[in-house]
Structure 1
Amino acid sequence: MKIVITGSLGNISKPLSIALIKKGHSVTIISSNPAKQQEIEQSGAKAAIGSLSDTMFVNTAFSGAEAVYCMIPFDFSIADQDAHMKQILGNYVQAIRQNGIKKAIFLTGWAAEIAGHGLNAVQKELEGVAISELRPSIFYTNFYQMMDMMRGKGTMGLVMGLRAYGIRALFGRRGLLIGNYGADDRIVLVAPEDIAAAAAEEFDTPVSGLKVRYVGSDDLTCNEAAAIFGSAIGKPWMKWIRISDKQMLQGYKMAGLPEGLASDLVKMQAAIHDGTILAQYDRHRPVLGKVKLTDFVKEFAKKYI
């Protein structure tokens, strides 16, 4: 099968492409970075270099494909993330229709319905296309952005924002995780490799209309996760402190995030704390993937040092 993969050689797209090539599929990988072309071709795939915001490029890149994997990358330089995502999604839909593609795997997220990024509307525009919507939970790799916080340094903008609300003693030698969900809140975490494995399965699975598939690797509380990270980096006392939505929003804004994006992140994270997202996840409760948090922290600890 001829398959187009978006996401360049990212944490999901790279292992997905490798798995598909091993199965004998012909794979084209889209990347916006010309420097990635050689590595893509060395992997056994074809390279299509261009921007996903370029409608004509996406149409051309999808030409001849029988199936596609579509993800929408964040662009933190854009203030209106919702408009950005709708533009990229619109380009995908047009290219799928124009090229007569009959199978599409879309990557959204477990908060897709909360954020208004679900694919119900897309299904109407893609009648006759088998659509699998993958909704992964919280990526393990997100924790790399929290290393300084675990070290007790925080991130400068976040620290400034939190101190503006009188939270002065959270950062120190103890090391903490902080968010507007935390403590004994339940979370589901996921490894990119397990998302890639789920996507690879969907290419070989018959689908009628729209199929929603949640993807997770480990199910635990925030403090249980903090303890696992803490034990791996020599801070077994580590806790995950929950702060208010207002404090989290201020922290994000002081860290330089556009106000719209900051508000959306706080809203989605609040829906973890109040159980809204978990209720949706539990209705589709998936078989958990192979990579547990105790596996991931071994690699995390090597980079933390």
Structure 2
Amino acid sequence: MKYILTGSIGNISKPLAQQLVAAGHDVTIISSNADRQSDIENLGATAAIGSVLDAEFLAHVFTGADAVYLMVPPNFTVTDWPAYQREVADAFLRAVKTSGINNIVQLSSIGAHVGHSAGPIDEVGNLERKLEAIGGLNVVALRPSYFYTNLYTTTDMIKHAGIIGSNMGDSSAEIILTHPADIADVAAKVLLDLDFKGQNVKYISSDIRTFAEVAAVIGNAIGKPDLPWVNFTDEQALEGAKQAGLHETFAEGFTQMGKSFREGLLQTDYLERNEKPQGKVKLEDFAKEFALAFQAN
């Protein structure tokens, strides 16, 4: 099989590529950074260096492949994050139509079913719906829950204020969590099986814990057993994001996403489908990774 992966060699695409290569398949990884070419080739994959905003480049790479993994890569240099997401999505859609590729695994998100008021999740949900509108495609939209790795952004807060928190909910609220390695495992299985037809949604989660448990487990791992979880107001969250250096559209988007988590909007479809965590990486496992990064920071 020939697979095309977007996302360069990030936290999901790299382990995904490793699994596909280990299974004996032809893997091409798209990256905008030419410096990544040797790292990609060292994985046993082919590097396609170019921009995900270039539909002609993407169509050329997609042509002749058995399946493509699509994700909108983060780009914190842009000033209008939603507009950038839409531009990438439009390039993907044009490339899909031009190339004739018909097996697609898309990295979407929990909350994609809503279509509004979910910050950066809104546009990946829109990409889901636009892919569904193209006739003849076989698509699996992967909907992971809140990434453990987002908790790395609380490092400075913990070190300087002695607290951990967000505007996503109070200490008793539950958050559904996912590790990138578990996402890669599911994506690899879907791509290797390649037995999906039509439009499909697949939720991915690793654990479900209260925010109080998140604070306790992280706190114990870093030697701060009394670390409290603080539920910020939306105004505090927005101001904190701006002070951290995020452009306004990023700060507003993440604040809006947190508000929608707090109000129960984003996790409803997962819960109504009676989904359960299937990932291997539990909160205690991630806390060890967090502790190493915390000590190194």
Same structural fold, with TM-score higher than 0.5 when normalized by the shorter chain: yes
Q: Answer whether contact 1:111 1:268 (CA < 8 A) is retained.
A: no
Q: Which protein is bigger by CA-based radius of gyration?
A: 1
Task: Describe the shift of the 1:286–1:4 C-alpha distance in structure 2 as closer, same or farther (beyond 3 A).
Answer: farther
Q: Answer whether contact 2:20 2:188 (CA < 8 A) is retained.
A: yes
For 1:274 and 1:14, the matched residues in 2 are separated by 34
Q: Deviations over 1:83-133 (max 9, x none)?
A: 1111111111111221111210111211323443311232112x1111011
**2:186 aligns to what?**
198
Percent sequence identity over matched residues?
A: 41
Matched residue count: 283
TM-score (norm 2): 0.91
For 1:47 and 1:121, the matched residues in 2 are separated by 28
**2:249 aligns to what?**
260
Offset of residue 205 of structure 1: 4.4
Offset of residue 286 of structure 1: 4.1
**2:4 aligns to what?**
4
Aligned: 1:248 with 2:232: no
TM-score (norm 1): 0.88
SS state at 2:78 partner: coil
For 2:225 and 2:26, the matched residues in 1 are separated by 47
Offset of residue 208 of structure 1: 2.3
Quick one: which of 256, 268, 280 aligns to 2:269?
280
Equivalent residue letter for 1:120: R
Instruction: Name stretches of at least 5 consecutive residues in structure 2 with no aligned partner.
Output: none
For 1:72 and 1:139, the matched residues in 2 are separated by 15
Alignment of 1:128-207 (within 5 A): 128-151=136-159, 153=160, 171=161, 175-182=162-169, 183-203=171-191, 204-207=193-196
**1:20 aligns to what?**
20
For 2:276 and 2:64, the matched residues in 1 are separated by 33
Instruction: Name stretches of at least 5 consecutive residues in structure 1 with no aligned partner.
Output: 154-170
SS state at 2:133 partner: helix
Q: Answer whether contact 2:154 2:165 (CA < 8 A) is retained.
A: no
Compute the RMSD of aligned alpha carbons.
1.5
SS state at 2:200 partner: strand
